[in-house]
Amino acid sequence: MNSYVLGFHEIDNTKLAVVGGKGANLGELSRIEGIRVPEGFCVTTEAYKSMVGPNREFNALLDQLLVLKVDDRKGIGTISGKIRRVIEGIPIAGEIEEAILCYLAKLGEEHAYAVRSSATAEDLPTASFAGQQDTYLNIRGKEAILRHISKCWGSLFTDRAVTYRMQNGFDHRKVYLSVVIQRMVFPQVSGIMFTADPVISNRKVLSIDASFGLGEALVSGLVNPDIYKVRGGRIVDKTIPAKKLAVYALEEGGTEEREIEPARRNMQALTNEQVLRLEGMGRRIEAYFGRPQDIEWCLSRGHSYVGDIPPQEVCPRSSEDTIFVVQSRPITTLYPIPDVNDGRNRVYMSMGHQQMMTDPIKPLGMSFFQLLSENYPLRKAGGRLFIDLTHDLASPIGRRIMLSAMMGKNDPLMQNALKGLMQRKDFMKSLPSGKKIFSLRTEGMSGAMFIQAIKIYRQNDVKIVHNLISRNEASIKDLRQRIAGLSGDELFTFIIEDHHKQLKEILYNSQSFGTIMAGVYAAGWINKKMEKWLGEKSAADTLSQSVANNVTSEMGLALLDVADVVRQYPAVIEYFHQAGDETFFEELGKLEGGGVVSKSIRAYLDKYGMRCSGEIDITRPRWNEQPTALIPMILSNIKNFEPNARSVKFEQGRQEAEQKERELLSRLEQLPGGKQKAQKTKKMISVLRNFIGYREYPKYTFIQRYWVYKQALLKEAAGLVQKGVIREKEDIYYLFFEELREAVRTNRLDYSIINERKDEYEVYEKLTPPRVMTSEGEVVSGAYTTGNIPDGALAGIPVSSGVIEGRARVVLKMADADLEEGDILVTSFTDPSWTPVFVSVKGLVTEVGGLMTHGAVIAREYGLPAVVSVENATKLIKDRQWIRVNGTEGYVEMLVED
């Protein structure tokens, strides 16, 4: 057989580059015992290449397409249309036409065929490209088939296909098209089968969509299909809607829509026996491919291939009914499950949602987090870490401790998801017992913490915070001295020991936890009592403004001082628009005022340069490594603020807090027992302002230590580069800690590991991790407990009181934050590195977070109304849309678009 045509029996997954994803999958399906696939063949990508490759007009248009940006819809539409017309106008070469007609004659020219596009970037495990190219049904006659092959080739350049490739980083020149020619089946029923529930992602639940006639009615959305949920040979749920329309084949070719008789509209499209037959086929196909599948199928009565059947039968029930499989592709939307194959039900909680960093973490970053959390059974999935909560949930005591002590303040939606799971009694009974994570002996949760909190509350002495900070500064100085000069195995041993002794001692110090607890307790007491006594919600938010010793809020204000230095030198401002990291300070020093600016930025970096977005991942570039990351925020500060803004903002917040205190005490004194209430409240306000700022310090502590570790490891990486073991220092980020240790010890490494993990990381970046999931892959969502909200508003968690209207700025990366005063920041999540952005905005909306997460703490410190845990906020709120944020009640209203 020539290189232009291959029959299904000649195709397997090694032929992907020749027949595309759809063609390769059909070849594999044809090999599965007991699976019927309509016979056919593929016109290979070699035919496509030989047709379009030499065409000058095609290549010239493709050059124009390559320079367009994904948001240039008009340009994409214009050039793509021209490319399609060129391709469809190219006559099919004689030898290609001969090969196609030769194979068509073997199958029978008199039959009807489906002509389907099959791109090399299609039906892949990581990108489905479903529906991006065209399919044509019931094509009859060799001339019509040849014409539709050209149309399929042209459909590689539909607007949607071009845009999808741009969004997913596929090169137009490296994606080719095969065309599948497949005998038509004229079914009574057809549909789609997912071997994992596409709604909740449960791998044990199979979902079948079914409708009368051809599957086009279902795919195009003409009908609401029957939906059957099947688990382990049992139908667990059915949805049977009215089906008014169906698509049927015409005898002369093509298809048409027809109305279904009223008597049939509410009938099941499939019998229960047929549903279970489909389940068995689906599980067989899934097992063959080794992963969940999205399967297209159709059911024909009595014959393998039949003509146009009038839809008279209520439901096909003959034992001779034949189910054909016409396509199977991987389900690409499922989040991976942790690889714990013990056959027991398990529950996993996202560590990223707890730490306000839902991006994937590179292997070395995972290793460091596992060193810090050795008591937690951490599992890897999709480039993220998950805590195995199974044994805690299996225990009534474990459930209470976990929910009350660890969850609600960080991410209420996660807590609500777990509460919902707990109501499923059969599932809870299936969880195995074992060693729990959370107990009163858990690090940071011991009785010593509560004793310290009471002691600190009674003393109410801010010197406690000063002493804790001084001890940490001394510890960092000692670390730098002890790690200097260490290399090789000594360095790795030292890092592990320092984690176990020094870092854990600092992070889980009972006095440190007690200090935080005292401040949080005071805030909760004030909010509860002021609402009860005075009817005022969230009074502690205003009282928390401009407190002392908040290292994170101070970081944002300190950058205002840097902006004051920069604003004096126009040449520096101009340079900032094209500055690079590698020569940043060198080029800066050549400019007028560059020396002064350099000194100011270096002083800032000395204190805060170890921070960055996603800083819990040690592999993320720090501001010390990428000083240009600060430039957008510095320029924004120059644009939005007058000189000396740091002092003005801090003093304004302090005065508002003092005014709120005077107002509350005055009102309390008018109440029965007011003197005692005012006296108690005054003490609580003092405790709040003395200790609530320290809430941000422990994270700053371990990020400081991470920076020292990282610098030492990068020296080892430089040695590996010099010896040719790795190609660039950053390659070590794709190795786990012990793998890196072994590479340093032996000076050997299989570099393919680095390349594979880089490719995996790109896939992981596109995934959205669930807050909670089970070992069956089920994504468990939490319901909101927020009170009444206006129609159309987005519900969330109120974390910083007040109401503000303004222009929404949807920002996914801090480096892209081009903000003006009065804007409202809308983003996925924030960590301390985002704090400098907060000084320029008037409100905050995030998709992740809770009452005591960093964004909420800093929003209260700066007096910004804030709502967090607003699901899909960055998708539902448009950039520059005018919105209202109600940080008191917890919702966001879309008003008008700018």
Measured between its terminal Cα atoms, the distance across the chain in Å is 61
HEC profile of 725-751: CCCCHHHHHHCCHHHHHHHHHHCCCCC
Residue 682 to residue 665: CA distance in whole angstroms: 7
Q: Which two tokens stand for residue 878?
A: 């448009």
Which tokens go with 674? 């007011």
Q: Give the residue from 607, 632, 510 showing the smallest Cα distance to 551.
A: 607
Return phi, psi of residue 239, to 5°. -130, 115
Residue 34 DSSP code = T
Rg (CA), the chain: 32
Burial of 156 (C-beta count, 10 Å sphere; 0-12/13-18/19+): buried
Q: Which of 353, 391, 499, 854 is catalytic?
A: 854
Residues sharing a CB contact under 8 Å with residue 875, sequence separation 6 or more, in sequence order: none
Cα–Cα dist 745/740, whole Å? 9
Please report which residue ranges of 30-168 form alpha helices under DSSP H. Answer: 45-52, 56-66, 73-89, 94-107, 142-154, 159-167
Distance CA 816, CA 833 (A): 14
**Could you tell me the CA-to-CA distances from 638 to 106, 482, 631, 838 in Å, in that order?**
75, 41, 11, 14
CA atoms of 763 and 608, how far apart (whole Å)? 32
Question: Is the CB of residue 347 less than 8 Å from the CB of residue 772?
Answer: yes
C-alpha–C-alpha distance, residues 826 and 880, integer Å: 10
d(CA 316, CA 188): 7
Distance CA 316, CA 322 (A): 10
Instruction: Kindly state the DSSP code that residue 878 receives in the 8-state scheme.
Output: P
One-letter amino acid for residue 450 of the chain:
F
Q: What is the 3-state secondary structure (H, E, C) of 211-247?
A: EEECCHHHHCCCCCCEEEEEECCEEEEEECCCCCEEE
Give the torsion sign (CA, 510, 512, 516, 519): positive
In the residue annotation, 854 being an active-site residue is answered as yes
Rounded-to-integer distance, Cα 560 and Cα 545, Å: 17
Which residues are part of the catalytic machinery? 854
